[in-house]
């Protein structure tokens, strides 16, 4: 490598040389301010790994904080994810679109960002350097790992089991669906909910471990509200954006109740299925049969199943009629733990994600969280010096606010990427910063079954024990409102439909006002709650 003199960059007290022959390298640090020679310390630049929302937001924020420095974004995917049309809906609720863009677009928006399209195959933390698949080595002074997560597939490797994470896997899924008459969805979180509602022209057997749908987001009440929509014909009416005061039909109070294929691309963005026709070969819209409280016991390919001489079941079109044996043959058969067997064209494993830490672990003694993510503290630092992490790859291990929890969502990926960059900048200047306000309250706005869904705080009473009460208001087909109360304070809420309550409830959760005296008025649709708390 040529050792031609490199441009010099002053950062704090230290003199660094960066960027030699198109790569970034280190020189020994200058003498310490006291005049004694410190042990040689690596120089290098700020390096961010991962072109998803967390990595891109982190790199952008670093580029703004250090306009004179080069920021390196190393990513395995050919496109990066950019946050566009960002809208701060309220204090903590945010909405944005996610766009796939070539790395060059990011470079032109931020001339001090350099995007390197290559997977990181190894991290040598003691030398502060990373090695990429294309044989390059980059030295960092601070590194932020934002390599996302991978789908945690059941029966991984079986050709009839598909997962959905990035554009490639979504397209593969669409291609297979276009030829399918029946599929099985396994899992009960975000992806399963979206697929069960969006898929048309194909029978869907949906196998869930729980007794109600959508366990990662909803309790049984909300699930029932949504299930009726799932079982009815699909109506594509646009969501209205005005508040409507509905009559309470039911108000009750419950007490105490890929080589390259090895690298995944970035996780899909909002409305990822919007541009994909999720349609099977048939001409009907929804046809979903839900099998509750069961898991997959075994799967058999067609030939294997024929030898077994077991019986599979026909798709239960009419829930009141008894189940009959299936006369058709299928490419794959799924035996459930409840003893039932269904044949289908393929199975979608929508069974969660696992943090993508593997490329960084070799000889690096990272502390890992229970879910396998890189543990990060309240400054987004991992357990190794000068290495930060953000987004799906990390496990938040600080003492959280009583109404915040980590979930692997793009809002949190953005917030963590942004805050990690702030922390890296602050550490470079030698002072820590206060936790970002976005971690005060968990807030997620999304769409399920064409309903707007807002989740706030401990929306499912997570970790509150038995000492809480729920208040509900529900108008079938219109809205579902649930608040979680503890000691007279609002701790969380689920708002489905156009309730227009999110801002008020967000404030009530944040300010922890004693609401005991308001009782059920809190959810009375005839009381304009915004005026009440003005
Ligand atoms: C189908 C689907 C629908 C979703 N819907 C929603 C939703 O409606 N709302 C919501 O809030 N969240 C949703 N999510 C979750 C959300 O997309 C993720 O939480 C978020 O995008 C994670 O961002 P990230 O930047 O941490 O990781 P990712 O987006 O996974 O990005 C990781 C990046 O790292 C790169 N990378 C990986 N390994 C390496 C390596 N070794 N070297 C270099 N680069 C590497 C990848 O190529 C990628 O660019 C959805 C997820 C999926 C899969
Ligand atoms: N609108 C939104 O907010 C959406 C968010 N997402 C996010 O994308 C990521 C991936 O989504 P999902 O895969 O749906 O993950 P998820 O974490 O939302 O749900 C995983 C589901 O799989 C179930 N499960 C786990 N192991 C299982 C097994 N062996 N057998 C049967 N069921 C099993 C779990 O009980 C859970 O219901 C998540 O972080 C999710 O939050 C995804 C789609 C939409």
Distance 167 CA to ligand 1 centre (A): 11
Q: Residues 185, 191, 195, 196: what is their CA dihedral angle, to the nearest 10 degrees?
A: 60
Q: What is the ipTM of this complex?
A: 0.99
| Axis crossing angle, helix 190-198 with helix 220-231, rounded to the nearest 10 | 20
As a whole number of angstroms, the distance between CA 38 and CA 29 comes to: 8
Specify whether the CB–CB gap between 192 and 206 falls below 8 A.
Answer: yes
Ligand 1 pocket, mutate which of 217, 410, 451, 454 (most atoms under 8 A from CB): 410
Plot region of 135 (φ>0 → left; ψ -120 to 50 → alpha; else → beta): left
**Per-residue pLDDT at 426:** 96
Question: According to the 3-state scheme, what is the secondary structure of 457-477?
Answer: ECCCCCCCCCCCEEEEEEECC
Distance 215 CA to ligand 2 centre (A): 9
Pairing between β-strand 296-301 and β-strand 129-132 as defined by DSSP bridges: unpaired
Distance 216 CA to ligand 1 centre (A): 18
**Per-residue pLDDT at 255:** 32
Q: List 184's β-bridge partners, or say none.
A: 205, 347
Distance 409 CA to ligand 1 centre (A): 8
Distance 318 CA to ligand 1 centre (A): 39
Plot region of 165 (φ>0 → left; ψ -120 to 50 → alpha; else → beta): alpha
- Ligand 1 within 6 A of 146 CB? yes
Q: Give SS3 for 120.
A: strand
Buried b (16+ CB within 10 A) or exposed e, 87-108: eeebebbbebebebeebeebbe
Distance 191 CA to ligand 2 centre (A): 6
Distance 350 CA to ligand 2 centre (A): 6
Residue 402 tokens, joined = 């009583």
Residue recorded with tokens 């022209």: 201
DSSP-assigned letters across all residues of 257-273: ---GGGS--PPP-TTTT
Reading the chain (534 residues) residue by residue, the pLDDT tens digits are 333 333 333 233 232 333 333 344 433 232 333 333 444 444 679 999 999 999 999 999 999 999 999 999 999 998 999 998 888 888 888 888 888 899 999 999 999 999 999 999 999 999 999 999 999 999 999 999 999 999 999 999 999 999 999 988 999 999 999 999 999 999 999 999 999 999 999 999 999 999 999 999 999 999 999 988 887 755 544 333 222 222 233 333 333 234 444 667 888 867 788 778 888 988 888 899 999 999 999 999 999 999 988 899 999 876 656 678 888 999 999 999 999 999 999 999 999 999 999 999 999 999 999 999 999 999 999 999 999 999 999 999 999 999 999 999 999 999 999 999 999 999 999 988 999 999 999 999 999 999 999 999 999 999 999 899 999 999 989 999 999 999 999 999 999 999 999 999 999 999 999 999 888 888 988 877 777 776
Distance 188 CA to ligand 2 centre (A): 6
Q: How far is CA 296 from the centre of its chain?
A: 24
Ligand 1 pocket, mutate which of 60, 214, 266 (most atoms under 8 A from CB): 266
- Ligand 1 within 6 A of 151 CB? no
Pairing between β-strand 182-186 and β-strand 353-355 as defined by DSSP bridges: unpaired
Specify whether the CB–CB gap between 455 and 217 falls below 8 A.
Answer: yes
Buried b (16+ CB within 10 A) or exposed e, 392-405: bbbbbbeebebbbb
Strands (E), 328-402: 332-336, 341-344, 346-349, 353-355, 374-376, 387-389, 394-396
> Which ligand has the minimum distance to the alpha carbon of residue 267?
1
Minimum-distance ligand 1 atom for the alpha carbon of 269:
17
**Per-residue pLDDT at 253:** 32
**Per-residue pLDDT at 89:** 83
The count of other CB atoms within 10 Å of the CB of residue 13 is: 10
Radius of gyration of the chain measured on its C-alpha atoms = 26
Residue 18 tokens, joined = 């960066």
- Ligand 1 within 6 A of 411 CB? yes
Say what the pTM is.
0.88
Distance 353 CA to ligand 2 centre (A): 7
Side-chain half-sphere of 427: how many Cα atoms within 13 Å? 20
Distance 265 CA to ligand 1 centre (A): 7
- What is the number of residues in the chain? 534
As a whole number of angstroms, the distance between CA 274 and CA 387 comes to: 37
Minimum-distance ligand 2 atom for the alpha carbon of 164:
13
> Which ligand has the minimum distance to the alpha carbon of residue 389?
1
Side-chain half-sphere of 341: how many Cα atoms within 13 Å? 22
Task: Report angle CA 503, 505, 511 to the nearest 5 degrees.
Answer: 100
Residues 6+ apart with CB under 8 A from 318: none
Kindly state the DSSP code that residue 508 receives in the 8-state scheme.
H
> Which ligand has the minimum distance to the alpha carbon of residue 352?
2
Pairing between β-strand 489-496 and β-strand 479-486 as defined by DSSP bridges: antiparallel
- Ligand 1 within 6 A of 57 CB? no
- Ligand 1 within 6 A of 343 CB? no
Specify whether the CB–CB gap between 428 and 11 falls below 8 A.
Answer: yes
**Per-residue pLDDT at 515:** 93
CA-nearest residue for atom 26, ligand 2, is 351
As a whole number of angstroms, the distance between CA 379 and CA 436 comes to: 10
Q: Give SS3 for 84.
A: strand
Residue 31 tokens, joined = 């003498």
CA-nearest residue for atom 15, ligand 1, is 409
CA-nearest residue for atom 7, ligand 1, is 270
Please state, in angstroms and as integers, the Cα–Cα distance from residue 213 to each residue in 202, 217, 257, following that order.
19, 9, 19
Residue 236 tokens, joined = 């594509």
474-479's contacts with Cβ under 8 Å and 24+ in sequence apart are 474/221, 474/225, 474/248, 474/249, 474/250, 474/251, 475/246, 475/247, 475/248, 475/249, 475/250, 476/225, 476/228, 476/249, 476/250, 477/228, 477/229, 478/244, 478/246, 479/246
Ligand 1 pocket, mutate which of 129, 147, 388 (most atoms under 8 A from CB): 147
- Ligand 1 within 6 A of 332 CB? no
As a whole number of angstroms, the distance between CA 105 and CA 109 comes to: 6
Query: Number of helices (H) and strands (E), helices first, in the chain?
Result: 10, 29
Side-chain half-sphere of 504: how many Cα atoms within 13 Å? 16
Residues 6+ apart with CB under 8 A from 19: 6, 7, 25, 45, 70
CA-nearest residue for atom 8, ligand 1, is 270
- Ligand 1 within 6 A of 440 CB? no
Minimum-distance ligand 1 atom for the alpha carbon of 170:
1
Residues near ligand 2 (Cβ within 6 A): 154, 186-192, 194, 209, 215-216, 295, 350-353, 407-409, 446
Helices (H), 243-342: 302-308
- Ligand 1 within 6 A of 457 CB? no
N- to C-terminal Cα separation, the chain: 67
């Amino acid at each position: 490598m040529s050792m031609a003199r490199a441009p010099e960059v002053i950062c704090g007290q230290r003199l660094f040389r960066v960027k030699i022959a198109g790569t970034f390298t280190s020189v020994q640090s200058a003498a310490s301010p006291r005049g004694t020679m410190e042990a040689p310390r690596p120089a290098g630049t700020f390096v961010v790994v991962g072109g998803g929302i967390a990595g891109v937001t982190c790199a952008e924020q670093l580029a703004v904080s250090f306009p004179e420095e080069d920021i390196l974004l190393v990513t395995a995917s050919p496109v990066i994810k950019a946050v566009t049309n960002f809208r701060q809906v309220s204090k903590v609720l945010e909405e944005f679109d996610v766009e796939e863009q070539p790395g060059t677009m990011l470079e032109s928006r931020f001339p001090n960002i350099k995007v390197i399209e290559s997977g990181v195959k190894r991290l040598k933390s003691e030398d502060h350097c990373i090695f990429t698949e294309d044989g390059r080595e980059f030295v960092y002074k601070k590194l932020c790992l934002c390599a996302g997560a991978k789908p945690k597939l059941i029966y991984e490797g079986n050709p009839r089991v598909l997962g959905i994470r990035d554009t490639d896997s979504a397209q593969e899924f669409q291609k297979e669906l276009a030829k399918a008459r029946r599929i099985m969805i396994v899992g009960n979180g975000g992806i399963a909910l979206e697929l069960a509602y969006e898929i048309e022209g194909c029978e869907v057997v949906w196998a869930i471990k729980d007794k109600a749908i959508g366990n990662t987001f909803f309790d049984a009440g909300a699930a029932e509200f949504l299930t009726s929509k799932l079982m009815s014909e699909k109506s594509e009416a646009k969501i209205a954006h005005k508040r409507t005061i509905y009559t309470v039909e039911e108000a009750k109070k419950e007490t105490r109740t890929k080589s390259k294929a090895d690298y995944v691309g970035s996780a899909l963005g909002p409305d990822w299925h919007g541009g994909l026709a999720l349609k099977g070969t048939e001409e009907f819209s929804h046809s979903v049969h839900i099998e509750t409280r069961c898991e997959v016991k075994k799967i058999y390919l067609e030939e294997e199943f024929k030898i077994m001489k077991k019986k599979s079941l026909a798709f239960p079109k009419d829930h009141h009629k008894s189940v009959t044996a299936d006369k058709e043959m299928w490419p794959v058969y799924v035996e459930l733990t409840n003893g039932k067997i269904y044949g289908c064209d393929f199975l979608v494993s929508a069974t969660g994600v696992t943090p993508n830490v593997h490329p960084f672990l070799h000889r690096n003694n990272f502390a890992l969280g229970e879910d396998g993510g890189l543990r990060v503290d309240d400054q987004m630092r991992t357990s190794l010096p000068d290495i930060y992490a953000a987004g799906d790859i990390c496990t938040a291990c600080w003492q959280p606010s009583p109404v915040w929890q980590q979930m692997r969502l793009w809002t949190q990926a953005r917030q963590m990427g942004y805050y990690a960059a702030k922390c890296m900048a602050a550490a470079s200047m030698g002072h820590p910063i206060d936790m970002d306000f976005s971690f005060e309250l968990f807030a997620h706005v999304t769409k399920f079954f064409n309903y707007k869904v807002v989740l706030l705080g401990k929306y499912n009473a997570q970790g509150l024990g038995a000492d809480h009460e729920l208040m509900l208001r529900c108008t079938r087909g219109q809205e579902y409102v649930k608040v979680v109360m503890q000691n007279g304070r609002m701790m969380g809420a689920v708002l489905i439909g156009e309730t227009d309550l999110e801002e008020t409830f967000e404030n009530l959760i944040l300010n922890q006002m004693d609401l005991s005296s308001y009782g059920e008025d809190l959810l009375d649709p005839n009381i304009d709650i915004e005026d009440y708390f003005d």
